[in-house]
Amino acid sequence: MDLLTCYARMLTIRLFEEAVERLFHEGRIGGTAHTCIGQEAVAVGVAAALQPQDAVTSNHRGHGHFLALGADPGRLMAELFGRATGYSRGRGGSQMMMDVRCGFYGGNGITGGSIPFAAGLALEAKMRGSSRVVVCFFGDGASNQGVFHETLNLAALWKLPVIFLCENNGYAMSTPVKRGLACPQVADRAAAYHLPSSRVDGNDLLAVRQAVAEARQHARAGQGPTLLECRTYRLSGHSRGDRREYRQAHEETEAWQREPILRFAAQLRDQQVADEAALRACQAEVRQQIEAAIRFAEESPLPEIADVATGVYA
Amino acid sequence: MDLLTCYARMLTIRLFEEAVERLFHEGRIGGTAHTCIGQEAVAVGVAAALQPQDAVTSNHRGHGHFLALGADPGRLMAELFGRATGYSRGRGGSQMMMDVRCGFYGGNGITGGSIPFAAGLALEAKMRGSSRVVVCFFGDGASNQGVFHETLNLAALWKLPVIFLCENNGYAMSTPVKRGLACPQVADRAAAYHLPSSRVDGNDLLAVRQAVAEARQHARAGQGPTLLECRTYRLSGHSRGDRREYRQAHEETEAWQREPILRFAAQLRDQQVADEAALRACQAEVRQQIEAAIRFAEESPLPEIADVATGVYA
Amino acid sequence: MRQVTYTQLLRETLEAALRRDPRIFLMGEDIGAYGGAFGVTRGLVKEFGTERVRDTPISEQALVGMAIGAAVAGSRPVVEIMFMDFITLAVDQLVNMAAKLHYIYGVSCPLVVRTPNGGGRGYGATHSQSLERLFTGVPGIRVVAPATPLDASGLLQTALLENNPVLFLEHKLLYPLRAEVPEGLPPPLPFGQARIARAGTDVTVVAWSGMVAQAERAAVTLAAQGVEAEVIDLRTLAPLDTATVVAAARKTGRVLLVEEGPRTGGFAAEIACRIFEAAYDCLDAPIRRLACPDCPIPAARNLEAACLPNAEAIVTEVLSLLGR
Amino acid sequence: MRQVTYTQLLRETLEAALRRDPRIFLMGEDIGAYGGAFGVTRGLVKEFGTERVRDTPISEQALVGMAIGAAVAGSRPVVEIMFMDFITLAVDQLVNMAAKLHYIYGVSCPLVVRTPNGGGRGYGATHSQSLERLFTGVPGIRVVAPATPLDASGLLQTALLENNPVLFLEHKLLYPLRAEVPEGLPPPLPFGQARIARAGTDVTVVAWSGMVAQAERAAVTLAAQGVEAEVIDLRTLAPLDTATVVAAARKTGRVLLVEEGPRTGGFAAEIACRIFEAAYDCLDAPIRRLACPDCPIPAARNLEAACLPNAEAIVTEVLSLLGR
Ligand SMILES: Cc1ncc(C[n+]2csc(CCOP(=O)(O)OP(=O)(O)O)c2C)c(N)n1
Ligand SMILES: Cc1ncc(C[n+]2csc(CCOP(=O)(O)OP(=O)(O)O)c2C)c(N)n1
Ligand SMILES: [Mg+2]
Ligand SMILES: [Mg+2]
């Protein structure tokens, strides 16, 4: 993934998520969604380090992970609109989409629920002798679930090719990390499984890409999992209806100063990868793409009610 | 608890467990039981460090924990015989007995199942302002359960007065520690919760007592939990029907050299706490006690069938 | 009289309990500053502090397990599980520990687990379930499912005095529901007493939790067509008020059970059996069950609506049951 | 012909599958050198190695979750949960993940979870349960409960070819049971086809898993008293062979359902409803349920025996059902 594509992907995520918030506000979509504004560099940094055979598992805040891997914003949006053209034909909603062709093995409504699933994908890859590496996205809050512990232990014991990638955005819903975790850093937990770990600035796309690439090499070399903690910040609310009374306005204002997209744009300009005009063109294109996605979704048919109970079994 | 009492308690446990194995073999008791031959110093070392207001939670291998706290071997044996005079009136069996008067808050058939229970006792004690400290017994294998992780995190966050006391006896059923845990030592897991930890020779009663006393002080001072790993060895099979094919005979033979009771007896003699005659007298007394316990159990009435479904609700 | 919501009444009930009994405390994810995902505990941490309104990490299994321990030691914990779907993580602690304590050891476990159940908000397959069936077949657990603001308070008051583990279901769609209540709290309600939400003679409709409102709405429509439906709101599933249900079945001879949850293996089957075992000779037609189809609950609003039983479906089913 | 046990046939079935399909592998606690708590996998690790017969730490939740992931990726994992009581720890993964995958995403999850259920060995309240009721109300999971050595093999063969999650119950008391079989394995058995274990005209007794043997024994006693009982062995609970059960109910007009598990909220209630819904007009008496009382299973042998339905209790119940 070249750097300009990285930029475009981050922008796609940002504009997609902003659209989601607007559409909720306008009552054009319902249900629930967790947006990832401010965390775009993690998702795209990961995607940029992966190979086509690799796999990714996600959580409740997964639009960005999916878009980073190249999801079609139209079909993603259609899922949020509950349309037949959505990735899960309207059945899944925001938290439950999957597209194995781009390596996206699904989100999960249960915090921590997909952590063992990711390790299982890695187990299959290892037993089959494939060169696949799996990235397992989860949040700081999910690291308090028992299944996190069980899975890291097993994956470490069996040296599975999986990267446990924590997006530490400072909060689990309203709970700040220091009231959720008894240890100062998520990465501290690696010691319990004798795993290598590192902390990365999750708002620095290149740092994320680099760390993932290294962890990927480690896994490919048969050395097993790595626990990567990417520090970032959720600039949006946890989900719809979050009044954000658990944090102060200035905290968010400050965090906006560190947001990843403007920062990456500046890097691109500094390194002369792209000039202002190129970035503008990219922005315009992404904006159009998102508008088209909304149109596609809104014009798509609803799923057939007659089929509602079909397909429970393979 | 004076040293001679410690010796007597260890012996009570040993002879009780040997009787259990014999009674199973003879078909006089049924169901299941997990004996703790070789691990007596941990149980008694812990009990010797506690105060009357303290509480203990146990696991599937709990006869020793209970006897160390002063359980009546007769009522314990009666429970194994399924008699109305048993601690659970025959309803519980080997893994489910409780006597809060001696601070014993029950075993558990679910590996790891009583870990959060112990922390809950500690939470109550702390909220009530009591000086109670809780000791939570569990095995090396139980440290792989998710609930271990969840509980240690919570107990550490809330600085609860609980001591997580691992009896690392080298195996979880047939699984040696190194194939169960990705980290070399159970104590390594404390880092994930920023908890103090230490490793103790679990066959050295005085070392266990000392470590528990210190952890107890730490908890009483409001500093929260400690993770204590007591290294020991299970000289018996995991449970009835264990062929022990997963380990070699010489391993057990060697382990017998390190067993805690003869060792403690030698210490008592060396330090002139007790001479050979005193130890002999103690042995004879314990032997009689166990025989009486078996008689008591065998002569006790069966539970009333008519009551089988009563008492489900308080 | 004043107008208050189901949410507000639950909150006031918790508040009164926290004032009354120092052994009562609340624990759950984001119940403090956030006030809980549905706002039930909003503001309580200000009055009672973080010791008695405890925010916890995301650790449902330990959360429930610790509450059990605290309960046995003498506290009276009230746990909030943010969505009922997540209680799957605490099944071991509830089934193998809480439910067995009194029978085996003779100790009490005064624990309340509050949790929002039900669909209708487009939240998708893992945020919409009504999973009482995981517990109604497990002796040792009380299962409570109020359908109105007044009942929610009355039953929660009783739950807070119980010495057994109580699973307390709060249907998501009920939270904003308003009721007229006098100053103070409504009276406590005993467990095991169903409510005749509407008296009728032609058919009995049995429901609980979110389905009661649908049944009542259906009854109004049916009345306009000359059909008098008796609507029974179970209020508690364990204990189950078999007597009231059977009496209604005997009276009307025809019964429709309405359940939010897949048809197969639901609690409606148990109710049907109870009626059948006691009133076999009085039934004029087979008991019917109206439930969700045997599939997960989809997210799309039109699909979700097609899955969940509603007033119209109840009307149709009743008319068919009456041969009309 | 040769004499083999239920255990041995299960082992041979797994062995043949491991030989046949490289995607199949086993994982579970102490299934390698120890051979599993009940010896089902004894010796397999020697032939297939530790990669395909994987001993795991005590981590039921991750174990099942990883197997789900491996299954979606194309493996065919077979998980052993040492006692069914411990499956409570994996309810979330099974209910919220495995059961929903195909409906939501359209992907297959060819996972088999084998586990010993049932009482009768004095193991106490957390090692004796039959918890199929936690899953029979959850669409998306197959529930299989063989009652004989031949069926155990035949149904396991089918489970190993299924593309859906299968919960496979092995009743503890059946393991030592012997059967005559030809060399090789018995034929595979389709899911959803109940077995008429004994034909009869006076009453239908429906059972599954460990209770089938009790029902058959009861039928012999009853025959001596001139009562011909038809015994139906369900074999699979999901899918449920409603047609066979209903046909028998229609034929005999009287039905007794036997369930090992507390009476309230069990799967027998579902079966009763199915019969009732389809054969209401042919029943000469209310359907009866014989089950455990609504309490945990006690450890003492006399108490445990008093809880579990057995042949004598079935005889008594049938005679009462027939008004004798
Ligand atoms: C088992 C479970 N418990 C609770 C929730 C509710 N919930 C959804 S997201 C969330 C916070 C997760 O925090 P974190 O893992 O840090 O991810 P973030 O939301 O910050 O991206 C919570 C509590 C859930 N979905 N599943
Ligand atoms: C949830 C659960 N899984 C598995 C078992 C079966 N089991 C009982 S004891 C045991 C080994 C426990 O090992 P450890 O914690 O080291 O204790 P030890 O037996 O060595 O004292 C196992 C696997 C169980 N009882 N509960
Ligand atoms: Mg977070
Ligand atoms: Mg051990």
**C187: in domain:** no
Q: D99 and C126: CB-CB below 8 Å?
A: no
CB B55 within 8 A of CB B132: yes
Q: Based on the domain organization, do D108 and D214 belong to the same domain?
A: no
Ligand 2 atom index nearest CA of B177 = 16
Distance from CA of A98 to the nearest CA of D (A): 6
Q: Are the C-beta atoms of D277 and D250 separated by less than 8 Å? A: no
Q: How far is the CA of B173 from the centre of ligand 2 (A)?
A: 6
Q: Give the CA count within 13 Å in the CB-facing half-sphere of D111.
A: 35
Domain check: are D176 and D54 in the same one?
yes
Three-state DSSP class for residue B236: coil
Residue C15 lies in a domain: yes
In the chain, the amino acid numbered D196 is: I
In a domain, C215, yes or no: yes
Q: Is the pLDDT of residue B205 over 90?
A: yes
Pure H helices in C97-181: 101-105, 149-159
C5–chain B Cβ distance below 8 A for any pair: no
- Enumerate the active-site residues of C: 60, 127
Show Cβ contacts of residue A271 under 8 Å, excluding neighbours closer than 6 positions: none
Round to whole Å and give the CA distance between A151 and A135.
13
* pLDDT for res C104: 98
* B contacts of A195 (beta carbons < 8 Å): 182
Strands in A226-231's sheet, in edge-to-edge order, are A55-57, A134-139, A162-168, A226-231, A197-201
pLDDT digits (tens, 9 = 90+) for B2-52: 999 999 999 999 999 999 999 999 999 999 999 999 999 999 999 999 999
Does any domain span residue D190? no
What pLDDT is attached to residue C165?
Answer: 98
d(CA C293, CA A308): 8
In terms of DSSP H, where are the helices of chain D? 6-20, 44-52, 60-73, 91-92, 101-105, 149-159, 211-224, 242-252, 267-279, 301-307, 311-321
- Centroid of ligand 4 to alpha carbon of B180 (angstroms): 10
Q: Cα(B116)–Cα(A161) distance, rounded to whole angstroms?
A: 32
CA-to-CA distance for D125 and B276, rounded, in angstroms? 45
Bridge partner residues of C178 (DSSP): C5
Confidence band for B240, pLDDT divided at 50, 70 and 90: confident
**Residue A169 confidence (pLDDT):** 98
Can you give the pLDDT at residue C130?
Answer: 98
- Residues C84-114: tens digit of each pLDDT: 999 999 999 999 999 999 999 999 999 999 9
Percent of chain D with pLDDT over 70: 100
Residues D209 and D122 in one domain: no
* d(C-alpha D34, C-alpha C104), whole Å: 31
Q: Is the pLDDT of residue D66 over 90?
A: yes
Task: Answer yes or no: is pLDDT of C226 > 90.
Answer: yes
Both tokens assigned to C316: 């149709």
The three-state secondary structure class of B133 is coil
DSSP code of residue D297: P
Q: State whether C252 and C282 are in the same domain.
A: yes
Query: C239: cis peptide before it, omega within 30°?
Result: yes
Give the model's pLDDT for residue D247: 98
Domain boundary among C129, C156, C181: C181
> Counting Cβ atoms within 10 Å, is residue C131 exposed (0-12), middle (13-18) or buried (19+)?
buried
Half-sphere exposure of B2 (CA within 13 A, CB side): 4
Min distance A59 CA to chain C CA atoms (Å): 12
Tell if the CB–CB gap between A303 and C302 is shorter than 8 Å: yes
Q: What is the pLDDT of residue D234?
A: 98
Quick one: D161 and D224 in the same domain?
no
Whether pLDDT at A34 is above 90? yes
Q: Where are the beta strands (DSSP E) in chain C?
A: 2-5, 24-28, 53-55, 76-80, 112-117, 142-144, 166-171, 178-181, 195-198, 203-207, 229-233, 236-238, 255-262, 288-292
B125 — contact with chain C (CB < 8 Å)?
yes
Judge whether residue D47 has pLDDT over 90: yes
| Average pLDDT score, chain B | 97
Q: What is the pLDDT of residues A61-114, one digit of tens each?
A: 999 999 999 999 999 999 999 999 999 999 999 999 999 999 999 999 999 999
Determine the straight-line distance between the first and last CA of chain B, rounded to whole angstroms. Answer: 36
- Per-residue pLDDT reduced to its tens digit, D195-207: 999 999 999 999 9
What is the pLDDT confidence band of residue A249, given thresholds at 50, 70 and 90? confident
Mean pLDDT of D167-185: 95
Q: List phi, psi (to 5°) of A122.
A: -70, -35
Q: Is D74 left (phi over 0), alpha (psi -120 to 50) or beta?
A: left
pLDDT, average across residues A211-219: 98
Helix (H) or strand (E) holding A198: strand A197-201
What local confidence, expressed as pLDDT, does residue C3 receive? Answer: 95
**pLDDT by residue (tens digit) across C22-79?**
999 999 999 999 999 999 999 999 999 999 999 999 999 999 999 999 999 999 999 9
pLDDT of residue D1: 86
| Tokens standing for residue B261 | 């009771």
Residue C127 host element (H or E): none
SS3 content of chain D, % helix, strand, coil (to 5): 40, 20, 40
Arithmetic mean of pLDDT over chain C: 97
Residues with CB under 6 A from ligand 1: A 60-61, 109-111, 139-142, 167, 169, 171-173, 234, 238; C 29, 58, 60, 82, 86, 89
Q: What percent of chain B stands above pLDDT 70?
A: 100
What's D227's domain CATH number? 3.40.50.920
> At D324, is the pLDDT very low, low, confident or very high (cuts 50, 70, 90)?
confident
pLDDT tens, position by position, B82-115: 999 999 999 999 999 999 999 999 999 999 999 9
Q: How far is CA B15 from the centre of its chain?
A: 15
- Phi, psi (deg, nearest 5) at residue D285: -160, 160
Is the pLDDT at B123 greater than 90, yes or no?
yes
Query: B101: distance to nearest CA of chain C, Å?
Result: 12
Same domain, D133 and D210: no
Residues D35 and D158 both lie in one domain: yes
Q: Which two tokens mark B79?
A: 């429970």
> How far apart are alpha carbons C65 and C67 in whole angstroms?
5
- Domain count within chain C: 2
Cis bond upstream, residue B260 (ω within 30): no
Model confidence over C134-191: pLDDT tens digits? 999 999 999 999 999 999 999 999 999 999 999 999 999 999 999 999 899 999 999 9
CB-based contacts of A251: which residues, under 8 Å, 6+ apart? none
Cα separations in angstroms, A114 against A128, A192, C89, C136, C153: 21, 20, 14, 28, 37
Q: What is the pLDDT of residues A117-138, one digit of tens each?
A: 999 999 999 999 999 999 999 9
Among left, alpha and beta (phi > 0; psi -120 to 50; other), residue D209 is: left
Reply yes or no on whether D60 is catalytic: yes
Q: Which of A13, A35, A40, A60 maximizes ligand 1 atoms within 8 Å of its Cβ, making it the mutation to test the pocket?
A: A60
**Are C169 and C200 part of one and the same domain?**
no
* Contact status, residue B239 vs residue B32, Cβ threshold 8 Å: yes
Q: How confident is the model at residue B249 (pLDDT cuts 50, 70, 90)?
A: confident
Q: How many CB atoms lie within 10 A of CB D154?
A: 21
The answer to whether the CB of B174 is under 6 A from ligand 2 is no
Nearest CA in chain A to C36: A174
Residues C20, C159: one domain? yes
A109·D96 Cβ contact <8 A: yes
C299 and A91 in contact by Cβ < 8 A? yes
Under an 8 A CB cutoff, do C99 and D296 touch? yes
pLDDT tens digits, A166-188 = 999 999 999 999 999 999 999 99
**Chain mean position to CA D25:** 21
Residue given tokens 């409803």 in the structure block = D273
Calpha distance A279→A291 (Å, rounded): 18
pTM of the model: 0.98
User: Which residues span the domain enclosing D142?
Assistant: 2-181
Q: Is B248 on the interface with D (CB under 8 A)?
A: no
Three-state DSSP class for D226?
A: coil
Strand-pairing partners, residue D144, are D168, D236
Hunting for tokens 């049995």 — which residue is that?
C206
CATH number reported for the structural domain that contains residue D150 in this entry: 3.40.50.970
Confirm whether D189 is domain-assigned.
Answer: no
CA–CA separation, A293 and A272 (whole Å)? 31
Summarize pLDDT for C251-271 with one digit per residue, the tens.
Answer: 999 999 999 999 999 999 999
Please give the class, per CATH, of domain B3-9+32-69+101-278.
Answer: alpha beta
CB contact set of A217 (below 8 Å; sequence gap of 6+) = none
Tell me what the pLDDT averaged over chain A comes to. 97
Question: Which range (A39-43, A51-55, B236-240) has the least confidence?
Answer: B236-240
On the question of pLDDT at B241 being above 90, the answer is: no
Distance B112 CA to ligand 4 centre (A): 12
Looking at the fold, whether D106 and D143 belong to one and the same domain comes out as yes
Average pLDDT over residues C284-297: 97
User: Does residue C188 fall inside a structural domain?
Assistant: no
Predicted local distance difference test score (pLDDT) of residue A4: 97
Kindly state whether residues C15 and C136 are assigned to the same domain. Answer: yes
DSSP code for C93: I
Q: What's the rounded mean pLDDT across residues D101-107?
A: 98
Instruction: Point out the least confidently predicted range of A205-214, B107-116, D179-188.
Output: D179-188
Pairing relationship of beta strands D166-171 and D112-117 according to DSSP bridges: parallel
Chains sharing 3 or more CB pairs under 8 A with chain A:
B, C, D
Average pLDDT for B244-249? 90
Predicted local distance difference test score (pLDDT) of residue B299: 98
CB B78 within 8 A of CB B18: no
Chain A CA closest to residue C119: A31
Contact B91 D299 (CB under 8 A): yes
The DSSP secondary-structure symbol of D108 reads -
pLDDT band for position B152 (cuts 50, 70, 90): very high
User: How near does any CA of chain B get to the CA of C75, in Å?
Assistant: 6
Q: Mean pLDDT across the stretch C206-214?
A: 98
